[in-house]
Structure 1
Amino acid sequence: MTRSPGTPLPPPKARRRLREAASLTQAQLADRMGVTRATVRTWESGRTTPRGRRREAYAELLKTLAEEESAAAEPAAVPVVVAVRTGPGSPAEDAESLVLPAKALPAQELQEDEPEPAPEPVALTPAQAFDALYEFGTPALVRQTFLLTGRRELARESVERAFQTAWENWPEVARDRDPVGWVRAVAYEYALSPWQRFRPRNRHPEPPPADPGDRTLLNTLLRLPPRHRRTLLLYDGVGLDLPETAAETEASTPATANRLLNARRAMADRLPELADPEVLHRRLAEVASNERLRAAKPPTVRVGSERRARFWTRAAIAFTAALIGTTALTLRTAPTHYEPPVSPGETVRGVPPKVAPGALSDEELELRQKLRDQMQDGPERLTPRLE
């Protein structure tokens, strides 16, 4: 039996554009489809796609929105595709596209008689593309990391260090399907590192949130194990689906589901009003939004990344030079032939072997006096005498 192909859907960016053109929020579209807002968010980002009857209903709804848009009085704006150039001199066709707000050009400026020309991509340098990604993702990532650690400075430092790592590996990040997710994974790993507890400034608690409800929620969240806390934040806070949460936390899907259920159960036991995932999502967003979290400017992060790269490069060169010098000195001073070791002393005729200089023992003194008093074998000794 051959399975029929699924109903075709527009690209993820077109789905979001149709929804926004119809003045619908993600929550309103989710109510019409009978799903959660997080599901609609994953559909529009391209992470997941609906299946079965839900796919057919979603395709029919998008088709209706497209017909309403085409029948509108004002013509649609022409989007300008923004591309990211990975290196100087690379063609625009090979550049990695980055999710940026698309500019719009009035369609009245186009001649109605001529066909609509294809939009020309706007080439960005790597620095400009990195700055755009930093400004787009930093505010949300700092708030998420604050919920993960409960420390404002650590959240800021973790996100900045993650973006510095992203700048060092920029071609890889630019080609990634989700650049913000790439940076988020690095920031979470740095923030949850067990070595952070040994830093002096992390040993003292930071001022808690001013609102008592926010303080209670944050303390309850920080009581969870780090793995459960990260899983809960990714699924109920960020809005990732279960497979993507499992992939980012490097765990299997059943293990991730078990961590999520345990985290929700622990949160509901201490705060029963957060048993609903939608309420939990809203409260997490409120707690993070009430904090004033700052971050450095994009050029500062790029300069810091380049300085760190130069430091480690110079350190590697210095270590290699020291290793080469030590090896050369060893080869210079090492013996060129084999020298047998000195054999240990042996007892001859009851005379003990020669020992290191020092005071003689009683036995040695007695033996010396005996040798002086007794005559040895052979002719008598000639003793000089005065005449």
Structure 2
Amino acid sequence: MPQSPATPLPSPKERRRLREAKSLSHADLAAKIGVTSETVRAWEAGRTTPRGRKRETYAKLLTASASVSANASVSANANPKERAATPTFEKAVTVTVPETERVPTPPTPPAHTHPLRTKPTHGTTRSTSRPQPAAKRAAKPPTPSPMPLPTPNGHIRPLPVRVTRPQAARPADQTPAQAFDALCALCAPGLVRQTYLLTGRRGLAHESVERAFQLAWQRWPEVAVDRDPAGWVRAAAYEYAMSPWHRFRPSQRHPDAPPAEPADRAFLDVLLSLPPAQRRTLMLYDGIGLDLPETAAETEASTPAAANRLLHARETIAGRLPDLADPEALHRRLAEVGKAEKLRLPKADRVRTGSEYRARFWTRAAIAFTALIIGATALTLKNAPTHYEPPQAPGRAISGVPPRMGPGPLTYEDTTLREKLRAHLPNGQERLTPQAR
């Protein structure tokens, strides 16, 4: 019997945005669906996917959230009389405007290209090549500004806006190997620098990036259709590089040689003294240039939590290195330190070969382990008893039985009789022949 098609769901990042647009927490959404808040976090992170009735309920809640955003966009374009009759919302609703309908902004001075940048942000680039009429621009809703960060003194400090370019579409005539090689050549240099700044180890940085690309090649049908393949690989490299289990490896017990420049050495020491969560948030926001919601989604934290981590990391760095109190100076410093080190880059052909070798090895190991379990089970079934054998009772001591003794010494009478027999009975045949008397 054919199954009905599953209810379509938006991407994990879009699920998070729709939930925040409706002003729902993880606990509120989990209570409406009937699951735990950790399950909702896993759905938004892309680790798991809902099924059955929970999938339909989740899709309806997200669709309702999207319709609220669309109604807010329509109400913004209505005339004053219609806007007066439409109820207003207390919280602003974020509206995602398609790329073909973006409002052109005044030209900004060109920013330098960040060498750590590997993931362009989708949906935040504003087109400046197509001028539009003034009436059409006036009818469109205003673009929401980035979320400001509260400082410990109570002042509001806006975050710098990172304007990036969207990724170029992959040519249709490319083979999977060619597309993977292009992705590796584009993202590997920046990822190696980022993982080095996160861990302070050159060998671990190369190993993490190589392992991430091997995993991407194993799951290439999934990565190829992902809306952000570079982000997929980056998340895998970060997870492997910052795993706490590396501290138990013999090769990681001794630190690497520090950078040659004293300033780079001091900055790397301060950066490595931060907690792993703050270090990763700082790298994603100030090093790569992601916006705050995307940083929070990739670190699996809420947007306020990611903002607090970013503020604490900046305060720690500014307290020990006052020259880096400015976010732009910190942005440039991350680029300079990562670019100054000579790091090994993974080669695409070796990554694909290693990925296929690892896949074959673990497949054969799984087959051998399964065969071993089947053989042990068959041997056990063959040698197992087929009927019940009662256990033997344990031994116990019995009283009243005299102890066993050997022959004792001969008495005088026994000795006399033995001598008489030896003297009167000769040896030989005469002893056996009866004689008449």
Q: Which TM-score tier does this pair reach, normalised by the shorter chain?
A: 0.5 to 0.7
Give every structure 1 segment of 4 or more consecutive aligned residues whose post-TM-superposition deviation is greater than 4 Å: 6-10, 22-26, 41-44, 346-351, 369-373
Which residue of 312, 319, 332 maps to 1:262? 312
**What is the TM-score of this pair, normalised by structure 1?**
0.66
Matching of residue 3 in structure 1 with residue 87 in structure 2: no
Residues in 1 aligned to 2:405 and 2:118: alpha-carbon distance in whole angstroms: 105
Match in the other structure for 1:316: 366
Offset of residue 4 of structure 1: 3.9
Which residue of 368, 378, 385 maps to 2:403? 368
Larger radius of gyration: 2
In the TM superposition, what are the counterparts of 1:337-348 in structure 2 within 5 Å? 337-346=387-396, 348=398
Match in the other structure for 2:172: 122
Residues in 2 aligned to 1:43 and 1:368: alpha-carbon distance in whole angstroms: 94
CA contact (8 A) 2:270 2:317 kept: yes
Offset of residue 205 of structure 1: 2.0
Matching of residue 64 in structure 1 with residue 131 in structure 2: yes
Q: Taking structure 1 as reference, are residues 235 and 350 closer, same or farther at Cα in structure 2, changes over 3 Å only?
A: farther
Offset of residue 175 of structure 1: 1.3
Match in the other structure for 2:280: 230
* 305-314 vs 327-336, which moves further: 327-336
Structure showing greater relative contact order (alpha-carbon pairs closer than 8 Å, 6 or more residues apart) = 2
Which amino acid in the other structure matches residue 207 of structure 1?
Answer: A
Offset of residue 229 of structure 1: 0.7
Residues in 2 aligned to 1:4 and 1:130: alpha-carbon distance in whole angstroms: 39
In the TM superposition, what are the counterparts of 1:181-196 in structure 2 within 5 Å? 181-196=231-246
Q: Taking structure 1 as reference, are residues 4 and 307 closer, same or farther at Cα in structure 2, changes over 3 Å only?
A: closer
Gaps of 5+ in 2: 1-67, 78-95, 135-165, 409-416, 422-437
CA contact (8 A) 2:205 2:241 kept: yes
Residues in 2 aligned to 1:283 and 1:174: alpha-carbon distance in whole angstroms: 33
Residues in 1 aligned to 2:241 and 2:355: alpha-carbon distance in whole angstroms: 18
Which amino acid in the other structure matches residue 72 of structure 2?
Answer: R
In the TM superposition, what are the counterparts of 1:1-387 in structure 2 within 5 Å? 3-5=72-74, 11=99, 26-27=110-111, 45-48=121-124, 63-64=130-131, 99-100=167-168, 122-346=172-396, 348=398, 350=400, 368=403
Which amino acid in the other structure matches residue 11 of structure 1?
Answer: E
Q: Taking structure 1 as reference, are residues 44 and 316 closer, same or farther at Cα in structure 2, changes over 3 Å only?
A: closer
CA contact (8 A) 2:120 2:167 kept: no
Offset of residue 208 of structure 1: 1.4
The alignment partner of 2:173 has SS state of strand
Offset of residue 345 of structure 1: 3.3
**What is the TM-score of this pair, normalised by structure 2?**
0.59
Offset of residue 201 of structure 1: 2.2
Residues in 2 aligned to 1:205 and 1:62: alpha-carbon distance in whole angstroms: 50
Gaps of 5+ in 1: 29-36, 50-57, 68-97, 103-120, 352-366, 374-384
Residues in 1 aligned to 2:237 and 2:274: alpha-carbon distance in whole angstroms: 19
Q: Taking structure 1 as reference, are residues 348 and 122 closer, same or farther at Cα in structure 2, changes over 3 Å only?
A: closer
CA contact (8 A) 1:42 1:241 kept: no
Count of aligned pairs: 289
